[in-house]
Amino acid sequence: MTDARKTARLRQLIARPELTFLMEAHNGLSARIAQDVGFEGLWASGLSISAALGVRDNNEASWTQVLEVVEFMSDATQIPILLDGDTGYGNFNNVRRLVRKLEQRQVAGVCIEDKLFPKTNSYIRGEQQPLADVDEFCGRIAAGKDAQTDPDFVIVARTEAFIAGWGLDEALRRAEAYRRAGADAILVHSKKSTASDIELFMKEWQRRLPVIIVPTTYYSTPTERFRELGVAAVIWANHGLRGALWAMQDVYRQIHRDQSLVNVEDRVAPMADVFRLQGAQELLEDERRYLPSRTGQYRAVILAAGQGAELDTLTRDQPKCLLPINNKPVLTTLIGCFNEVGVKDVVVVRGFGKELLVGPNYRWIDNDEHATTRDLYSLYLARGELDGPVLISYGDIILRKYLVEDLLNMPGGVAVVIDADLRAGGKRRDLALCSEPYSNAFFNRRIQLRRVWSGSDISSAHGQWPGILAATATGTESLRRTLNRMAETRDIRSLSVTDLLQELTAETVVDVVYCKGGWIGINDVSDYQQAGRFQ
């Protein structure tokens, strides 16, 4: 059974007093774009679909191949689709089977034209194309109407009388016969450069059925004139494909000529648009909801909202987490490290340059107040992600995989990495006091974090915190509880994750994984230069 909302909506669009516009689409992506820019309905163009498949508009693409394309279009959108069904791909039997298959795919209607199968495009020697016998074509219409199970499914009868050179009388005779056969609307086609054929037809037709037009050749006619004539719907029949054709040719030529992408990157859509149109975010959210194995897996929350002002011109136009190190952005390297140890669900809190932070293998949360807040506020914005085992990390660090593995293998609720080498890791100084200083003699001995603070006085410090912590499901409850309390009692916008760790040490045991190096944080130009040598 077809989606009654789509069929009913198409029927309303062609029956309402206001002029309706249907936009051509030829695949799922173009259909989604047309919907997103505001079109209320789609024209699944036979010309455009065949061209996109690389074949002629002469029924060289089989009707089942067209059906497959239209199914993707239907799945990608919520607005109704009117399929350009050519001649119905045969006789009455083909038409009724086509209608049943379209209903199954939630396609709202089909337009069939009174020509012979296989058809030839109307703009190619149209006057030499024979038209179908009127009675035989009426049989196609009647069979289609009898086959539909949804009473709102729309069948549009298209007459090519003007195209074939038969004139107004034949166009009117055929349209009236098609109305009597059960058509829901008439599409009158003309390839003149003016709308004179349409004007003559509309004057005589007297709105016996809604009339649809395709002003591809008489495009200069003001749209207001179509309203005055009482046209029900206008189809912009092939301009999505033609626009894409020019754009692709231009970009391809540039890349071929330059053997580089540098001159086209600012002329093409950002990857974020591609992922949005594909629904990548929706899938990631559904994976969290439905995949049963997720309860025992860690999720990573990466705090990457900052610009990195101390890096001078390096971060003028991009966040520091996108700085390339060994030809790979810092964030990509960090996510790759997490993925290698099995942490595949990654959430990035982005802020400065957020339009540049896109990727198919992570989700994002926006901190639009990044310029006036600190990193704990970014974590607070991501508090909805703190509902199970979680890995929390700054977005400007690179670290060895074994540090993450050691952290995730800790048995307690909350654990942090502490580097006993106070000279390592760049210029960041989040210092730590632990229950015991580092010793080579440690073996299966649990060390706890006692205090953590930011500063330069290392005299009482046992090490420094690189900016990464892990919490089991139980630990995450403590972390979330502490975070919420701090938001209620303190100005969380001015606090750091270091402040959160200090609060946590008073509430719960925070285990320590000691290390000696194996990471670097990027806070200034010197750190960045050193990171380039980090292997």
Residues in the chain: 535
CA end-to-end distance (rounded Å), the chain: 60
Handedness of CA 485, 486, 491, 494 (dihedral sign): negative
| Given 3, 36, 57, 150, the catalytic residue | 57
Tell which residue, 141, 138, 139, 119, has the closest CA to residue 130: 119
Residue 146 catalytic? no
Q: How far is CA 58 from CA 49, 51, 118, 124, 237, in A?
A: 12, 11, 6, 10, 17
**Token reading at 505:** 């040490």
* Element spanning 63, H or E: helix 63-76
Q: Which residues of 39-75 are buried (b: 16+ CB within 10 A; e: fewer)?
A: bbbbbbbbbbbbbbeeeebebebebeebbebbbebbe
For residue 311, count other CB atoms closer than 10 A to its CB. Answer: 21
Q: Cα–Cα distance between 144 and 282 in angstroms, integer?
A: 37
Q: How far is CA 18 from CA 7, 231, 330, 524, in A?
A: 18, 9, 54, 61
Q: Cα–Cα distance between 15 and 18 in angstroms, integer?
A: 9
Longest dimension (CA), the chain: 102
Q: Cα–Cα distance between 163 and 172 in angstroms, integer?
A: 14
Tell which residue, 148, 198, 145, has the closest CA to residue 175: 198
Known catalytic residues?
57
